């Protein structure tokens, strides 16, 4: 296709992506170097018959004027990146000098908001992704062994958790697991602990969100694996049966190598999706004990007094760096393949 024709065909979608994905990333980058203005304060002298007092109040007029003049805020350089709510360089140095044992140091650091969120996000990715692959693969194998006639409805039932939005999916589970719901109440009876509830324990909350993640993402892995299983050639499988290979050996040495490229694809997609975990935290109202990077950004953006654009943007930029690190191996591989293909 000639370049000119390509240009006109691609212009609308290219423009949409540049304007609403490319530019926002740049805008986020710029915002991250600014911080909201401090409030302008003034001294007010108040005199009454008993004497005069000087009090400090916020000068509303000047504050709103300065905000209007420079809506982006004041220039802060990398200040936002290193402050207490982000990388917290100074705090970490302080902890390093003041704490006695390494354990204590780690404890202190993981209490800082950014690191807390980072650790939750990574833990979530680390536990959800492999389990999604495993469960998805098992479901695909076992559905593949069912009579063809009833597979349709079974597949429909299987993909339900995936097609609802994460907020709805997590709410539906939360209403059952909560202390007043069916599972929660029964657990309380079983454990003989009337105070057992999701909100009371950090570990329980984390486990619940991770289970939710596996529940929500496995159907996707299932669908892809199931489709891939349909393409496994029959001859090697039959040959293996004749040679006396066990079922496990067949899966291990014939099926898995065949669908290997698909496994990397699913792993990549689900890693990307898990890294942005956010809605389940709202659905499970787990803000207290589990915060993710995306949730931190959301929290800054819905801040009641003044939207913390700078802070949200700094966290966003660091999230993007995280995504880039996740994607790097794939991009490098694609680049190499592309070079050799030419």
Partner 1 sequence: MEYGLDKRSNALKIFNTTFIIVWLLVACFPFIWTFWGSFKVRADFFSRADWWYAITAFNTLLETGGKFTTDAYSQAWTEGEFWKASRNTVIVTFFVVTISLFLGTLGAYALSRSTRNYAFWILIAALIFRAMPHITLVSGYLFPFFQLQIWGILPTTIVVLVAINQPFTLWLLYSFFKTVPKELDESALIDGCSYFQAFRHIIMPVMWPGVITAGLFSLMLAYNDFTVTALLLNQENHTMVPKIQSYLGTNQHEGNLMWAVSAVVSATAPLFMLVMFFQRQVISGLTAGAVKG
CB of 269 to partner 1, least distance (A): 9
- Burial of 55-73, coded b for 16+ CB within 10 Å and e otherwise, reads eeeebeeeeeebbeeeeeb
Q: Return the structure tokens found at 92.
A: 């970490």
Using the contact rule CB under 8 A, the part of the chain among 8-16, 98-106, 125-133, 199-207 near partner 1 is: 8-16
Q: 3-state DSSP call for residue 177?
A: helix
Contact at 8 Å (CB) between 213 and 170? no
Among 125, 198, 281, 297, interactor with partner 1 by CB under 8 A: 297
Q: How far apart are CA 237 and CA 18, in angstroms?
A: 48
DSSP structure string for 251-314: IIIIIHHHHHHHHHHHHHHHHHHHHT--HHHHHTT-TTT---HHHHHHHHHT-SSS--HHHHHH
Among 168, 207, 256, 332, interactor with partner 1 by CB under 8 A: 168
Using the contact rule CB under 8 A, the part of the chain among 52-60, 79-87, 103-111, 235-243 near partner 1 is: 235-243
Using the contact rule CB under 8 A, the part of the chain among 27-35, 62-70, 92-100, 110-118 near partner 1 is: 27-35
Q: Is 309 in the site for partner 1 (CB under 8 A)?
A: yes
Residues in 239-268 at the binding interface with partner 1, rule: CB under 8 A? 241-242, 247, 261-262, 265-266
Residues in 195-234 at the binding interface with partner 1, rule: CB under 8 A? 215, 219-220, 223-224, 226-229, 231-232, 234
Residues in 94-133 at the binding interface with partner 1, rule: CB under 8 A? none
Q: Would you say 105 or 175 has its CB closer to partner 1?
A: 175
Residues in 68-87 at the binding interface with partner 1, rule: CB under 8 A? 71-72
Q: How far apart are the first and last CA of the chain?
A: 19
Using the contact rule CB under 8 A, the part of the chain among 41-49, 103-111, 123-131, 317-325 near partner 1 is: 317-325
Among 89, 163, 306, 332, interactor with partner 1 by CB under 8 A: 163
Q: Is 329 in the site for partner 1 (CB under 8 A)?
A: no
CB of 163 to partner 1, least distance (A): 5
Instruction: State residue 197 phi and psi, 5-degree precision.
Output: -155, 160
Contact at 8 Å (CB) between 273 and 121? no
Query: How far are the Cα atoms of 24, 31, 102, 235 from residue 77, in angstroms, in the given order?
Result: 19, 10, 32, 64
Residues in 140-159 at the binding interface with partner 1, rule: CB under 8 A? 142-146, 152, 154-159
Q: Is 321 in the site for partner 1 (CB under 8 A)?
A: no
Q: Return the structure tokens found at 341.
A: 């293909």
CB of 118 to partner 1, least distance (A): 14
Q: Would you say 14 or 106 has its CB closer to partner 1?
A: 14
Q: How far apart are CA 41 and CA 60, in angstroms?
A: 8
């Amino acid at each position: 296709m000639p370049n000119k024709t390509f240009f006109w065909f691609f212009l609308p979608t290219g423009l949409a992506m540049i304007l609403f994905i490319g530019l926002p990333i740049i805008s986020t980058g710029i915002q991250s170097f600014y911080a909201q203005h401090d409030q302008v304060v003034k001294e007010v002298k108040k005199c009454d018959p008993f004497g005069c007092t000087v009090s400090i109040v916020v000068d509303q007029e000047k504050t709103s004027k300065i905000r209007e003049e420079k809506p982006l805020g004041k220039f802060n350089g990398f200040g936002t990146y290193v402050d207490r709510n982000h990388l917290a360089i100074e705090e970490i140095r302080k902890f390093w000098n003041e704490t006695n044992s390494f354990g204590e140091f780690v404890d202190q650091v993981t209490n800082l908001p950014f690191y807390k969120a980072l650790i939750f996000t990574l833990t979530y990715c680390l536990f959800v992704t492999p389990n999604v692959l495993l469960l998805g693969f098992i479901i695909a194998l076992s559905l593949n062994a069912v009579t063809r006639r009833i597979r349709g409805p079974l597949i429909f039932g299987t993909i339900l958790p995936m097609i609802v939005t994460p907020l709805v999916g997590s709410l539906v589970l939360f209403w059952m697991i909560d202390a007043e719901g069916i599972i929660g109440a029964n657990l309380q009876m079983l454990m003989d602990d009337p105070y057992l509830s999701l909100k009371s324990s950090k570990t329980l909350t984390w486990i619940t969100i991770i289970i939710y993640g596996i529940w929500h993402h496995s159907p996707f892995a299932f669908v892809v694996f199931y489709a891939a299983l349909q393409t496994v050639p029959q001859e090697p499988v039959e040959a293996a049966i004749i040679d006396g290979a066990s079922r496990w050996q067949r899966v291990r040495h014939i099926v898995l190598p065949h669908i290997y490229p698909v496994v990397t694809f699913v792993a990549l997609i689900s890693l990307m999706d898990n890294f942005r975990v956010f809605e389940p935290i709202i659905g499970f109202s787990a803000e207290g004990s589990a915060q993710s990077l995306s949730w931190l950004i959301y929290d800054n953006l819905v801040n009641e007094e003044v939207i913390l654009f700078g802070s949200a943007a700094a966290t966003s930029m660091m999230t993007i760096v995280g995504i880039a690190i996740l994607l790097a191996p794939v991009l490098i591989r694609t680049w190499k393949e592309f070079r050799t293909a030419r």
